[in-house]
Chain A
Amino acid sequence: MPEHAARAEPLASPIHAILLAFPVALYPFALATDITYLNTAVVQWTNFSQWLIAVADFFTGLLLAWALISFFFGRARMARGRSTLYLIVVAAMFVTGVINAFQHAKDGWASVGTAGLVMSIVCTVLALVAAFLVHSTAVVRENRA
């Protein structure tokens, strides 16, 4: 081995990336079902939104925990600047998602409304931002002999 070999690896480990895939897929889907409910008033669409948000919240909670551990003990230590921003985005997404779950638990037409739609948009944007941040960042580890 050469003396100063360096190895680039993604900021997110494979499991971290899989956890992140859930909010990236589910929050935009919930936004779509919210919009469909507001357009049709067919109850099943808000039911879909509620499940999508609940499952997205669950995995975002795990993601937040994983990201915190990575920040203090894992590879995210190597890229503190980006990681701090990423952590803030994930935390904001989780808080908004949980509040949105309670908003969507209201009955009937009250389940979405302006507040629910706005929170679904916020979660969607934050999920995409989080994915962009984490997948466009590599950390470089130097192997010292």
Chain B
Amino acid sequence: MTRLSLAALPFIALVAACAPSSEGLDQTGQSPVLPEQADSLIPAIAIAPPTGWDGELPTVPEGYTVTAIAQDLQIPRQMLVLPNGDVLVAEGSGGKAPKLRPKDIIAGILKGRGKSPVKGGDRISLLRDSDGDGRTDLQTTFISDLDAPYGLAFVDGAIYVANQGDLMRFPYTEGATSITAPGEKVTDLPAAINHHWTKALTASPDGSRLYVGIGSNSNVGERGMDAEEDRAVIWEVDPEDGSSRIYASGIRNPTALAFDPWGNRLWSVVNERDELGPELVPDYLTSVREGGFYGWPYSYYGQTVDPRVHPQKPDMVAKAISPDYALGSHVAALGLTFVTNGGMGGRFAEGAFVGEHGSWNRDDRSGYKVVFVPFSGGRPSGDPIDFLTGFLADGEARGRPVGVLFDAPRGRLLVADDVSNTVWSITPRARTRAPSEATRSAASPARES
């Protein structure tokens, strides 16, 4: 193939020169600017190859401190804090989508260059801070032999793990540092192809229902709609009997789910489609309406039709809901956590943190940071504010944020980084000088730093 690719270079250069470039549109907030669709012959690909932090740290706002509380993990994704303060980290890498087209092979090689060479752990690690000084005293394997675990939930003394192909329940006793008992399968999850393999998980506040985010099996239906049965949906699962139903649909890749603390509504961050240009389609944060249809694959942001789907479905387009809040195109939002009652203090007292893994398919990279979406009255109320940055350096990725988790009792934000295989902890600076406050309840207001 070398000869072919070399011979093709002049044409690639020619066509790439015609590829659309970003116009610097404002694509965050309640009403993002959506440009015209621009399908270039050769989609832009800008991979940020992994590099180390080399002793440096991500950038935090003035008055905050960041430290690594776990290193040498094996592709950390989402996290969970147990009642005793132990932190669980799901580690793994899934997806066994067969390569159906020449493009799948080429894209797989290129995207692989932006990933950590470490093999996914297929396990859950436990991080324990015994003395409350903010440092990890024990890092150990909690559950092993999983299959690309991603979503985690704790309900009624049991730990639920969403593998890429099933939802498992593990019995937990307070203080345990490992679970060797085989888990009990609650239900199988849609796993054929698994183009988007991550299974996000959260529990309703009363613990009676679980919600599982199941991504689409393609960018925009190009594997045929038969492959999209039970895909691009959020499932509602009854943990008692494992029965499930579709709670919302047309929601392309819901990568993180959380209930808000104000109205106990389900929210999701969602990754939207590619190859319509560098500024289409913005990923979004939205409250999830029961029975709601969010457009995929027929349309996006409500009724903007995607011509790549055939036959089109005008009746479905007419039903499509516009999401609440745009995060920017191709930022690859993978983490979501809410804060309230002072939260992380300062400008970060009430709202949602969103982990943005970062783009690979636009020339001007987007994402590669953790942002804060301020809320008031239970709704997003302003532009996103950068919270944790510095992941990109000279076009290389020192890290890439995935899951984010507000650990309310300890007043810290945890961020999983699947390139440097680290969990970062960010605290308001005043608090680290007072470890005795580490068990403060979330209800008390955070101290201004």
Residues of A within 8 A of B (CB): 41-44, 47, 50-51, 54, 57-58, 61-62, 64-65, 94-95, 98-99, 101-103, 105-111
Residues of B within 8 A of A (CB): 1, 3-4, 7-8, 11, 15, 39, 41-42, 100-103, 218-224, 275, 297, 307-311
The CA-CA distance from A1 to B436 in the complex, in Å, is: 108
Residues from chain B with Cβ under 8 Å of A57 in the complex: 4
The answer on a CB contact under 8 Å between A62 and B3 is yes
Give the residue name and chain of the B residue nearest to A61 (CB). B4
The answer on a CB contact under 8 Å between A102 and B7 is no
Which of A42, A94, A95 is the one whose CB lies under 8 Å from B224?
A42
The answer on a CB contact under 8 Å between B308 and A50 is no
The answer on a CB contact under 8 Å between A94 and B101 is no
The CA-CA distance from A43 to B309 in the complex, in Å, is: 11
Count A-B pairs with CB separation below 8 Å. 66
Q: Using known A-B contacts A61-B7, A107-B218, A110-B308, determine if residue A43 contacts B102 with beta carbons closer than 8 Å.
A: no
The answer on a CB contact under 8 Å between B222 and A107 is yes
The CA-CA distance from A44 to B101 in the complex, in Å, is: 10
Residues from chain A with Cβ under 8 Å of B1 in the complex: 58
Residues from chain B with Cβ under 8 Å of A51 in the complex: 101-102
Min CB–CB distance A102 → chain B (angstroms): 5
Which of A41, A50, A99, A107 is the one whose CB lies under 8 Å from B311?
A41
**6 interchain pairs, CB-CB under 8 A:** A41-B310, A58-B4, A61-B3, A99-B15, A105-B103, A107-B308
The answer on a CB contact under 8 Å between B7 and A43 is no
Q: Using known A-B contacts A43-B222, A51-B102, A99-B41, determine if residue A108 contacts B11 with beta carbons closer than 8 Å.
A: no
Q: Using known A-B contacts A95-B11, A108-B308, A110-B307, determine if residue A43 contacts B103 with beta carbons closer than 8 Å.
A: no
The CA-CA distance from A65 to B101 in the complex, in Å, is: 26
The answer on a CB contact under 8 Å between B102 and A50 is yes
The CA-CA distance from A53 to B404 in the complex, in Å, is: 44
The answer on a CB contact under 8 Å between A109 and B224 is no
The CA-CA distance from A25 to B309 in the complex, in Å, is: 30
The answer on a CB contact under 8 Å between B11 and A106 is no
Min CB–CB distance B296 → chain A (angstroms): 12
The CA-CA distance from A69 to B284 in the complex, in Å, is: 55
Min CB–CB distance B195 → chain A (angstroms): 12
- Seed contacts A41-B310, A95-B11, A107-B219; 20 additional CB < 8 Å A-B pairs: A41-B311, A42-B224, A47-B100, A47-B101, A50-B102, A62-B3, A65-B3, A98-B7, A98-B11, A102-B42, A107-B220, A107-B221, A107-B222, A107-B308, A108-B222, A109-B308, A109-B309, A109-B310, A110-B307, A110-B308
The answer on a CB contact under 8 Å between B101 and A99 is no
The CA-CA distance from A42 to B222 in the complex, in Å, is: 10
Q: Using known A-B contacts A43-B222, A107-B222, determine if residue A101 contacts B102 with beta carbons closer than 8 Å.
A: yes
Q: Which of A50, A65, A98 has the most CB of B within 10 A?
A: A98
The answer on a CB contact under 8 Å between A108 and B100 is no
Residues from chain A with Cβ under 8 Å of B275 in the complex: 106-107
Residues from chain B with Cβ under 8 Å of A47 in the complex: 100-101
Q: Which of B15, B41, B42, B101 has the most CB of A within 10 A?
A: B101
Residues from chain B with Cβ under 8 Å of A103 in the complex: 41
Min CB–CB distance A64 → chain B (angstroms): 7
Residues from chain A with Cβ under 8 Å of B224 in the complex: 42-44
The CA-CA distance from A103 to B307 in the complex, in Å, is: 15
Residues from chain A with Cβ under 8 Å of B100 in the complex: 47
Residues from chain B with Cβ under 8 Å of A110 in the complex: 39, 307-308
Closest 10 CB pairs of A and B: A109-B310, A108-B308, A43-B224, A107-B222, A105-B103, A108-B222, A54-B102, A110-B308, A61-B4, A102-B41
The CA-CA distance from A79 to B42 in the complex, in Å, is: 39
Which of B39, B41, B223 is the one whose CB lies under 8 Å from A43?
B223
Min CB–CB distance B217 → chain A (angstroms): 12
Residues from chain B with Cβ under 8 Å of A50 in the complex: 101-103
The CA-CA distance from A62 to B3 in the complex, in Å, is: 8
